[in-house]
Structures are given as C-alpha cells and as structure tokens.
Structure 1
Amino acid sequence: MRTLHLIGLGLLAFGTGGAAAPQADPGTVRLIERKDLFGNPTKTQARLSPDGKWLSWIAPRDGVLNIWVAPASDPGQARPLTAEKTRPIRSHFWAPDSSQIMFINDKGGDENFLLYGVAPAGGEPKLLTPFEKTRVQMVGTSNHVTGRILLGINNRDARWHDVYSLDLKTGKLTLVMRNDGYAGFLADDQLNLRMASKQRDDGGSDYFRVTGDKIEATPLVTIGLDDSLTTGPAGFTADGKTLYWIDSRGRDTAALLAQDVATGKMTTVAESPKADIGGVMADAETGRVQAYSIDYLKEEWTAIDPGIGADLDWLRKQLKGEPIVGSRTRADDRWIVAVDPVVAPSTTYLFDRKAKKLSKLYVSRPQLEGAPLVAMYPEEIKARDGLTLVSYLTLPAGTDPDGDGKPDKPVPMVLFVHGGPWARDEYGYSSYHQWLANRGYAVLSVNYRGSTGFGKNFITAGNLQWGRKMHDDLLDAVGWAVARGVTTPDKVAIMGGSYGGYATLAGVTFTPTAFACGVDIVGPSNLQTLLKTIPPYWEAGKQQFYKRMGDPTTEEGRKLLDAASPLYKADAIVRPLLIGQGANDPRVNKAESDQIVAAMRAKNIPVTYVLFPDEGHGFARPQNNIAFNAVAENFLGKCLGGRAEPIGDSIRASTAQVPEGAGFVNGLAASLPAR
C-alpha cells in the first residue's frame, strides 16, 4: 500500500467505540482482568510482503512482542524472526524489494529509535544504523526503485537529520544531503529529493525546491502558522508530474489537492466542511489516489476508483462494519483487512480481491471474545463560546438498557483526556474506555480546542490556551454530562497521559474542587522547563510550540507559561492525585513529575508517585502498564467507589518504584517488593 505523508505534530501524544452489548446489573457484570485488556495481544499489525509471498505480524515470544513470519499461502507455518527479551517491537514494515522485514526499537523508552532488518528466511537481525544517541526517520521509499530506501539520521547533529540512501543488499549508507537547518525532505518515486521544508520565525513553514544536491534559496511555497498543522505536501505520483497536498489554505478544513507540477495548477480531489482529509489509499503502480477518509464522528472511506469502491462495499457487507485496509501487495491482488466491532475484539483477514474471498487470520485479543464489552457513543458537545467538541462516551454495562447513550441514573465518571494536544480522540475500541466502564464508570473523551482533524480554526482556537479555554472545554464537557444525567458533579475524576496528564494537573490546581481526584500519566507541570528539555531533534518545531503555547524567550511569554503551569498552584491541591512517570521520558522529562511531587511534599499535601526506571513517554512494557493501571483502578475505587481488581502481584512483576505515597492507595504498600 502506498502511503502519502499526512500532516501532524504531536508534542505530547498519548491516545484512547458500535451497537450496544447485552446489558446486566453493573454490580454483577464479570470483572475483565487487566491482563486481558492491557497484556500483549495474541497477534497484531499483519503485513503482506510487496511480492505477496509472505505474511508477517507482531506477536509475543516468551512474553515479549516480536516479529513473526509465515508463507502467505500457509499462515499456519508461522515462526518467530526476532528474539527481543525486554523491549517490545511495536512496529515493522517490509523492504520494498521484499528482501527483509524492517523495524525500529529504542532502549528503555529513550526514543532513540534505530533501524534493524531481518530476512524472512531467518537469521540474526542486522542493525542497519549502528549509531549511539540517534533517532532514525524514514524519508522515502519507492515501488519502482526497490533496492534502496532514504533515511534521515541525526548522528552528526542531534537537531537535524541528514539524508542517507540505504542499500538494502549491502547495508551501505551513502550521504545524499547534509541537513543544516531543514525540518524535513520530500522525495519522489525515483527517490530524488524534490522539496525541503524549514520552519519560519512565525511558526509557519517555507518549502523549497530541491534539484540534485542543491536547495533553492527562495521558497517555492510559504505556509503561515494558522495552516501549519493542516497543510503540506503529501507525495508525488509515480511519474512525478502530480504532487498531492493536504491543504487548508483559503479554507478551514484540510482538503486533498492535486497539483500539476509543470503548471502549478491545483485541483480539488476531496474535501469536507466538517473534518480534514484523514487517510488515503493510492495505487502502488501509479501513485494516484484511489480512496480517502473523512473522520468527523466516525471514520468513513470514499472511493474514487470504481474497483476500490466495489471492493470496499463488498467488504462492508461481509464484515458488517467499516473495513480497515492495513496492507496491500504491489500487484494489489490481496489486502490485509481488519474490522473493529467496538463491542468485540478486532479481527484481521486476508482478502483475495479476484476471488472475493476473506480468510480469517486472527482475533487480536481472543480472551475478550464474549467479555462484557460496551458501546461507544459519538457526541457533539457545545463549548461555552459555541465551538462544537466532538466527544466519545462509554457507559458501564447495565446502566443503559435502551441503548440511547444515557444511563438510567447517574454513575461516577472518568474524564479521559487525550495527549498531543495536537492529536485527537477517535471512535473505536479503546482498552481504557472498556476497562474503566467495566469498573463502573462512565468514560468521556473530549476533542477540546487545539485537537487536530477538525480544521485549522479549531486548532488555532487553542493557541496560548493551555490551562485556559482548553481547560474550559473539559469543564464544559463535564457540565454537559451532569446536565444529561450521566454523572453528578461530585463523582468525576480526570485522567490522561501526556497533555492529558497536564490537563489532570491543571484540573486539580486551577479548579481544585471540580474533580474528585486525578490520575496524571507523564504530564508536564512546568511549561518553561518542559520547553527547555524537549528533545534536540524537535528544534525544527520549536517556534510552533512557542507560538501555540507561549514564548519562553520573551517576558510576556514566560509570564504566560508560568501562569499556565500547575507547579505554581500546587499548594491549591485538595483532591487525591496519582502520578505515573517513565524515568527515561525524552518529551516530558522526569523532572516534570519530580517538581510537583516535591512541591506537594513541602506543603504536606498527599500524593502517590509511581516511577518506572525502564520506561519513557508512556509504558510500553505490558508488565509496567498493567502495574500502573492496577494502582490507578484501586486509587479510583477509593475516590469514586467503583470496582477494582486487587493489585496482587502486578507490582512485583513490573519495575515500578513508589517514591511517594504508597499508603494512599488500597493494597499498594503491601504489594511492593523489598528492593
């Protein structure tokens, strides 16, 4: 499947679905074990090799996610290709020539991702970028020049990624372009660099034409701040004559445009007044777009190519849901297709287009088949100034027998806030929604202003609004839930990761009595120190952060950032707070959690702090994720009165340390190992 480069910038990304499931008394609903929700999936991320000979996926090997491979003609003959013992492999892709499977991995969550390759026939994985303190980026692949790929490597200067060509047969890296100040490069299907982008002082971007090894001095295109997260080149057709753009210039939501490279003429391919163009499917041979998606309340695909449209319609009838196409052969005769029923685990199939045949490959979490999973309801909530906040509500089983998205009587609620903030919540199965609903809570996730996917004006409405109007949106959503009878004002917790963790800290400091308690996962407490410690390879995005958050190089900006920093209002905290942090987090430094814990300790304000020495921005190892969620659900149970599976041995199975407040969570102190 050919992928176009869609726009996005997530500083603090950390994420979160269907007909109603059978209802029962919520107190008698089976408690779904944490390991079934947050442990390793049985299989995930199936891929077809471009030549169609192989199938690959990620699955546990000795309890750690590794890459497996099987002949496409006989998936039952699967065998593991890698043998990671500690750090799970979370993504992989096939080399264009089908010679090897490639994957990235870091150490302990430091996000210094290096590139590895392993042949489908077996053998030891080869480290293809043998450097230290380096983060590899993909710059370009081709369906026609299949013997090499283009990589961005920042081993020379941590701020900038030089472009290298990697010979897939020999492993040789050849410098293509030294990078001294450019945010990124765009290559065509012949792997020629065609455009380079550089951030402007106003937070926008300039795009420059690249010819050979020369970058023109005068920008070809200039994008302002307002359009910077919703506009950019998306990729060339195979002949190099058409350049696709995701583009919001002169409109609000980002449209898909096709530009004639010779004349510069733009033609609108697809647009929506409600949401940005999301994903695209493109022809592997020609590179021309065949289908596109719009994601407002739910993601919906529209085909341009009649053949693609006929197959998508056929799949919808067979799967009784929107098909998710994950991988395609170069001949486009077979697809990997999944369906997400929300109230059941997702199922992945191999689809033979010519024979119109679906072959079931696997259920991602078969242990959840028959579990009391519940529906997710898309909602449109009005903010106090009239903005529409697309949100998602999940209710505990047994509380909504008529399936109208409203419980018969109010229940405790968790406001689960997404990270980014330049990201979004989506409709679909969510382990967090299902877990919390199973424990007896309504769960509400809100796309507050600043979230992406709903046009540039919605993003811009969040500029300089951390802890201000962005927080008001969350409060307005809680007010909506109270008015609707979902919950009561005294029974709402706030929880989230990354920016969602910041929102939690803002909630318990700026509005100390608005929430019954808070769960902060890798959230920043001091916006000035956050911006001082962002990774060096985010240098190209620094001005954008300053313009959208507050500029720490000016007195006015520093005052703005300090006023929006929960650290300086820590003495206002009167509600229980739980904090989780990865010691190696490169985005939200450990000091962000340390600072607010120290400030609370100095004022004798209780707080529980869980630290993982082998994690970064979020908890990648299932043992650690399960352990933190064990603490979280017992913390929430004490605060909101919901159900909780005992902590048990989950802490001992993890690397969790509890520097502060173990006694404030039921069962936590007794569960700690002697270290």
Structure 2
Amino acid sequence: MPADGVLADGAVANELVAIRTTPAPPVVIVGEGQPGSGDFTAAPTLSPDGLSLAWLRWDHPDMPWDAAELWAADVKYGGRKSIAITQPRRVAGGLPGGQARGLTRAVSVSLPKWSPDGYLWWCDDSTDWWHLYRSAAPGTPEAASGDYLAPLIADAQEEVGEPRWVAGGSRYGFTSDGTVVFAAKSGGFDSLWSYNPATAQRLPLPGPGFTCIDSVSVNGSSVAVIAGLKDRPSSVWHVDLATGVATDLRAIPEGAPPSAADSPAAAPSAAPAAASGAAPLSADWVSTPQAISFPTGSQEGGLVQAHALFYPPQSPRFHGTDGESPPLLVRIHGGPTASARAEFSPSLLFWTSRGFAVADVNYRGSTGFGREYRDQLRGEWGVADVQDCIAAARFLAEQGLVDPSRCVIRGGSAGGFTALAALCFQQDWGFDGTFVAACSLYGVTDLAALAADTHKFESRYLDGLVGPLPEQAATYQARSPLFHADHLSRPVLLLQGADDKVVPPAQAEVLVTALQQNQVPHAYVLFQGEGHGFLLRETVVNALETELAFYGEVLGFQPDGKPPAVEKLAGWPVAPSSGRMGT
C-alpha cells in the first residue's frame, strides 16, 4: 500500500487494511491489483467467529448502485498477530452476476452483514428490487453461489437496500432468536418489519408508524432505529420486542433510565404503545405527504409513470381566496441517485404553512422504486428528470389541486440543475409557462465543469447519467443551463455558499453574468462561511425568507417576515403589493 494512500499516477488508492490497536503499520488485506480489489473496496464485515471476511468492490465508470460485487474470503491468523485472507472469491453481483441470471445489466449488491449464526446476508437488485438474500450455509460462501439464490421475500415491491453515498449504514439486523428486523421502502415511504427465516413469517414492528428510516441496529430483543414520522422529526427510537413498547429517546427526562419514558409495564397487545416527545408543531400546521403517480414522457415518445409526494397547504392562520387553487412549489431532491424523504421537514412545512402546495418529485432515476426505474435516468439526466417535474406540475393542475399559472420550481445541487434546466427548456419542449420562476440552491450549471472538478467517488458518475467524455461533450453542453441563458425569460434566484467546493461559486457567477447580458430577471445571494448545503441557522432562515420574498415578487404577494438578504430582483418590475424586493 502506498504510504500516503496515493498511487504513482496520482490516483487515490482504495484498499482493505487491518489496523492494529498498538502502534504498528496497517496490514494490507486486499491491496491494489489483488483478487477482490478494484477502483473501490468498501463495507468490510467480519463473521462472528472471525474466520470469514466479506466486502464490496466496484470499478469506474460504475457507481456502487450500478455494479457493486460481493466478495468473501477465509481469514487466517499467524504468529505475532499477523492476519491475511485466502481464497478470495466473488459471491454475487456485478456483471457476472447479471449474466448468470440472464440479465443484460450488472447486479448491484449493498449492505453485507453476518448473522450471529454465521450466515452472510446482503441486498441485491437482481430481481429489480434491492431484496434481502442469505448464503446457503454458514461460513465463507462458495464462489458465485449468490448468483443462483432467490430473495428471502420475493413478492414485495419494496427495497431494503439503498444507495450508499457514504461509508457505513444499516437497514437490518438480527435478534437473539435469528429473526431479521429490517426497514423497507415502498411507494416513497419506509416501514419497519421482522421476518423469521425458519417460519417465513413477516410482521410489522411495534411503533408509531415510521415513514422515513435512516438506520436500524438490533441487540437481543432491543431494536434501535433513527427514524422520523409524518408529524415528528427524525429521532433515536428504542423498540422493545419483548414488551411491544416503542420509545422516543428524546422523551426521556435527563438523568432518568430509559424505562422512564415507556408506558407503564405494558404487556404486548394488538396495539403496542409508543411513548414519544411532544410534536414540535400542532397538527393543524403539519401537511402530511400523499403518494401520487402520474404519466410522463419517455425517450421513445411513449408514456411511463413517475412518482412524487404531494403536500397540500396546511395552516391555521393563512388561507387562500375562496375558490382559488394554491400555488405549487415543485421540490427536487439532490443526488440525483436518491429520493424524496417522507418525513417531518421544517424546510418543506415552511412552504405549506404559507399557502403553497408542494410536490416532492421522485423523478425517474430515484431510488426506492426498483432498478428498472432507477436505470431510466441513465444517459437521460437533464431530460427525464426535467420531463417528470413538468409532468408533475401539469398533472396536479389538471386535477384541480394547484393553480397552473402559479407553479415554481426549486432544488439544491443536482436538484438545482434540474430546476434551471426546466426553466431553460420548457418552451423548447412545448410546455412554456409551466414554471414561472426557479430557485437554484448551489445548483450545477455546467455539467462538464462538474465532471472535471470533483472527487474520485463521483469522478465518473456522469458517464452513466449523461455519457462519457470527450465523446459526449456536445450532450454535456446541450443540457447545461450555463450555455442556454438565452432560453431563460422567467425570473431566477441563485443561492450559493461562498466556500462550496462541490459546485464552486464560479459556476453560479458565470450564469449570473449571462443572465445580466440577456436581461433576464434574477437575483444572486452569496452566503459567506457556507459550503455545499447551508448549515448555519441564520443562513437557513435568511435563505428561506429570501426565497419566499422572491416568489412574492414574481407571484404578486407580500410575505410576512423581515426583509430578506436580497434587495433587488434585477430586471423585474416592482409588484405593487411588494415592499420586500425591487426598488
């Protein structure tokens, strides 16, 4: 292993190593060029007896959610505490895994883990959904043995696996009696379940009805989850399988034992108890998500289905005019290989409590809807996602749920790119006026610049989303809003972090120059001390108030609140009702 983790050609080396607890050099377990290595190795997990090791590997230009392979090997220990692996072999996944199942694509494996009885578990998408799999026997599985297994729960259109943007993560775990507890996503919502492999019995876990689950950890009959609800933000919950009690650990008084928040010595019942802290907002302020599906265009010109979470306006204080449909804010998640989160979100409720309906779009390419749906964004980023956002707005307008003349679109990072692209190209595609304004938060404006200036993990991400460079350079330029500012005639708000290393301010500022030259109504706010995503409380508040004032200027209303950071919407006449923006 290179001493500094960098290879001779300057590339970053990704290897599996054993690090001693006493001062000593790390021991390379899977090194560069060895069987089981790759451009990336990740997720190492040791069996309970310490005699087997499993891990994931994949190569450029794939991302882990495209073609990660599951590998395993025997572990050998020698004198002076030496450690090594023998007979490394691919167990499942990758292009060989897809070929073994008669597929024309690779299989993606995620979340490998050993059960207490020594079986290797994982998720893979060979049947379209990231289902759970288990090795045929305890110990190190045979080579390619996972290619021919059936998922433990095969008939559910749900995903236990998810894209791993960062190391770690857990969506399932094991009880002392061998039951697996797992989170599954279906239709945009998470839920928590148990499954007994011996009896094939599946049951919902006690709890308040989680809708967004970040992590699952199991010890004996205790389950710890980081999860949120429709009306409560994410928190750490403890679920006691012996008593059927689910406890929000925020509800425990300081210094009290965990049992202090539980309901009194409740025996298991048909309706297990859930103890939780008070909701941060009363129910009349909280809009809850409704899953919707709607028709959208396809590359071949036909119609396919896309999905979204729809939030109607909800406020005890603010009401629209009788007989008038609300304005719509289309919200776009980042990634783009990610999904809208069905959770209590103050930044989303900010809009619904002020009279906006919100559509949080799970455009084609989003996760949680199967591999086929995820792959519909391959080569189509900047087209399929934009089509789906336009289709969502038009569908909701046709249903009479929103005002078609007052639809705006906003997104951050990859979502900012989609928001700007929608405003750029809606006229070209015959949908002019679907969106009357857009807000981009630290959004991508130049796809080629993003591909050229990023870290190793994402350095080939756009090969799959757009196409390889330099062969597809013309496509990159054709889809980049930066080169099509002349297509923009609707107002644009750009919110940017001064210290952003992922999408540097230069990308926004070049677009600002183009907007100025083309006399497009716009405003640009640069927040000092912020990077790719706003973290400071004052920035978050200021950004939301600025965005609300921007929409007020465009849609002709004057919002409550203090004046925003932006003082002038360049090139846009002052609305008679507005005292917030424009002079």
Q: TM-score range by the shorter chain?
A: 0.7 to 0.9
Q: Kindly tell me: are residues 511 and 336 of structure 1, through their superposed partners in 2, closer, same or farther at Cα, counting changes over 3 Å? A: closer
User: Where in structure 2 are the equivalents of 1:387-536 lying within 5 Å?
Assistant: 387-397=304-314, 409-511=324-426, 513-536=433-456
Question: What do residues 18-47 of structure 1 show as CA deviations (whole Å, max 9, x unaligned)?
Answer: xxxxxxxxxxxxxxxxxxxxxxxxxxxxxx
Deviation at 1:211, TM superposition (A): 5.9
Distance (whole Å) between structure 1 residues aligned to residue 335 and residue 212 of structure 2: 27
Is 1:248 aligned to 2:105, yes or no?
no
Contact 1:209–1:215 at 8 Å: present in 2 too? no
- Which of 9, 13, 32 is the equivalent residue of 1:160? 13
Q: Kindly tell me: are residues 484 and 534 of structure 1, through their superposed partners in 2, closer, same or farther at Cα, counting changes over 3 Å? A: same
Distance (whole Å) between structure 2 residues aligned to residue 312 and residue 443 of structure 1: 33
User: Where in structure 2 are the equivalents of 1:178-577 lying within 5 Å?
Assistant: 178-179=31-32, 181-190=38-47, 193-199=53-59, 205=67, 207=69, 223-224=94-95, 231-238=108-115, 241-249=118-126, 251-260=127-136, 261-262=141-142, 264=145, 266-272=149-155, 274-278=157-161, 280-283=171-174, 289-305=180-196, 315-316=206-207, 319=208, 328=217, 330-333=219-222, 335=224, 340=229, 342-343=230-231, 350-357=238-245, 361-362=249-250, 367-369=280-282, 372-384=285-297, 385-397=302-314, 409-511=324-426, 513-539=433-459, 542=460, 544-554=461-471, 557-577=472-492
Between the two structures, name the one with larger relative contact order (CA 8 Å, sep ≥ 6): 1
When the two chains are superposed, the root-mean-square deviation of aligned CA atoms in Å is 4.2
Find the residue that maps to 1:268 and give its secondary structure.
coil
Read off the aligned partner of 2:94 and give its amino acid letter.
I
My pick for the range that moved more, 518-527 or 199-208, is: 199-208
Deviation at 1:286, TM superposition (A): 8.8
My pick for the range that moved more, 411-420 or 268-277, is: 268-277
Read off the aligned partner of 1:592 and give its amino acid letter.
Q
Aligned to 1:174: 26
Deviation at 1:525, TM superposition (A): 0.9
Aligned to 1:55: none
Aligned to 1:146: none
User: Where in structure 2 are the equivalents of 1:659-674 lying within 5 Å?
Assistant: none
Distance (whole Å) between structure 2 residues aligned to residue 395 and residue 161 of structure 1: 46
Q: Kindly tell me: are residues 535 and 440 of structure 1, through their superposed partners in 2, closer, same or farther at Cα, counting changes over 3 Å? A: same
My pick for the range that moved more, 257-266 or 408-417, is: 257-266
Read off the aligned partner of 1:375 and give its amino acid letter.
T
Read off the aligned partner of 1:254 and give its amino acid letter.
W
Deviation at 1:519, TM superposition (A): 0.5
Read off the aligned partner of 1:564 and give its amino acid letter.
R
Deviation at 1:336, TM superposition (A): 5.6
Aligned to 1:646: 561
Is 1:598 aligned to 2:513, yes or no?
yes
Deviation at 1:659, TM superposition (A): 11
Contact 2:326–2:355 at 8 Å: present in 1 too? yes
Find the residue that maps to 2:151 and give its secondary structure.
strand
Contact 1:206–1:219 at 8 Å: present in 2 too? no
Distance (whole Å) between structure 2 residues aligned to residue 305 and residue 240 of structure 1: 14
Question: What do residues 513-533 of structure 1 show as CA deviations (whole Å, max 9, x unaligned)?
Answer: 331111001111111111101
Gaps of 5+ in 2: 76-83, 162-169, 252-276, 317-321, 428-432
Distance (whole Å) between structure 2 residues aligned to residue 171 and residue 658 of structure 1: 58
Instruction: Provide the identity percentage.
Output: 20
Read off the aligned partner of 1:362 and give its amino acid letter.
R
Q: Kindly tell me: are residues 227 and 259 of structure 1, through their superposed partners in 2, closer, same or farther at Cα, counting changes over 3 Å? A: farther
Contact 2:411–2:439 at 8 Å: present in 1 too? yes
Question: What do residues 486-520 of structure 1 show as CA deviations (whole Å, max 9, x unaligned)?
Answer: 22332100111112101111122112533111100
Question: What do residues 293-320 of structure 1 show as CA deviations (whole Å, max 9, x unaligned)?
Answer: 232242233321399999975734xx36
My pick for the range that moved more, 273-282 or 567-576, is: 273-282
Distance (whole Å) between structure 2 residues aligned to residue 196 and residue 564 of structure 1: 33
Question: What do residues 264-311 of structure 1 show as CA deviations (whole Å, max 9, x unaligned)?
Answer: 252421235533334742116698733342322422333213999999
Q: Kindly tell me: are residues 297 and 239 of structure 1, through their superposed partners in 2, closer, same or farther at Cα, counting changes over 3 Å? A: closer
Distance (whole Å) between structure 2 residues aligned to residue 454 and residue 289 of structure 1: 22
Distance (whole Å) between structure 2 residues aligned to residue 154 and residue 353 of structure 1: 47
Contact 1:533–1:589 at 8 Å: present in 2 too? no
Q: Kindly tell me: are residues 391 and 559 of structure 1, through their superposed partners in 2, closer, same or farther at Cα, counting changes over 3 Å? A: same
Gaps of 5+ in 1: 1-130, 135-152, 400-406, 652-656
Question: What do residues 622-641 of structure 1 show as CA deviations (whole Å, max 9, x unaligned)?
Answer: 22111111211111121224
Q: Kindly tell me: are residues 182 and 227 of structure 1, through their superposed partners in 2, closer, same or farther at Cα, counting changes over 3 Å? A: farther
Read off the aligned partner of 1:176 and give its amino acid letter.
V
Contact 1:378–1:390 at 8 Å: present in 2 too? yes
Q: Kindly tell me: are residues 230 and 502 of structure 1, through their superposed partners in 2, closer, same or farther at Cα, counting changes over 3 Å? A: farther
Q: Kindly tell me: are residues 461 and 600 of structure 1, through their superposed partners in 2, closer, same or farther at Cα, counting changes over 3 Å? A: same
Read off the aligned partner of 1:380 and give its amino acid letter.
S
Contact 2:133–2:149 at 8 Å: present in 1 too? yes
Contact 1:611–1:658 at 8 Å: present in 2 too? no
Distance (whole Å) between structure 1 residues aligned to residue 25 and residue 119 of structure 2: 29
Find the residue that maps to 1:269 and give its secondary structure.
coil
Read off the aligned partner of 1:482 and give its amino acid letter.
A
My pick for the range that moved more, 353-362 or 476-485, is: 353-362
Contact 1:248–1:255 at 8 Å: present in 2 too? yes
Deviation at 1:594, TM superposition (A): 1.9
Question: What do residues 307-337 of structure 1 show as CA deviations (whole Å, max 9, x unaligned)?
Answer: 9999975734xx3666969565644446467
Aligned to 1:58: none
Q: Kindly tell me: are residues 566 and 232 of structure 1, through their superposed partners in 2, closer, same or farther at Cα, counting changes over 3 Å? A: same
Q: Kindly tell me: are residues 662 and 479 of structure 1, through their superposed partners in 2, closer, same or farther at Cα, counting changes over 3 Å? A: closer
Distance (whole Å) between structure 2 residues aligned to residue 305 and residue 220 of structure 1: 24
Contact 2:363–2:385 at 8 Å: present in 1 too? yes
Distance (whole Å) between structure 2 residues aligned to residue 509 and residue 470 of structure 1: 13
Read off the aligned partner of 2:441 and give its amino acid letter.
I
Deviation at 1:175, TM superposition (A): 4.2
Question: What do residues 346-383 of structure 1 show as CA deviations (whole Å, max 9, x unaligned)?
Answer: 67654444455555532678653466222221112122
TM-score normalised by length of structure 2 = 0.73
Find the residue that maps to 2:26 and give its secondary structure.
strand
Contact 1:581–1:611 at 8 Å: present in 2 too? yes
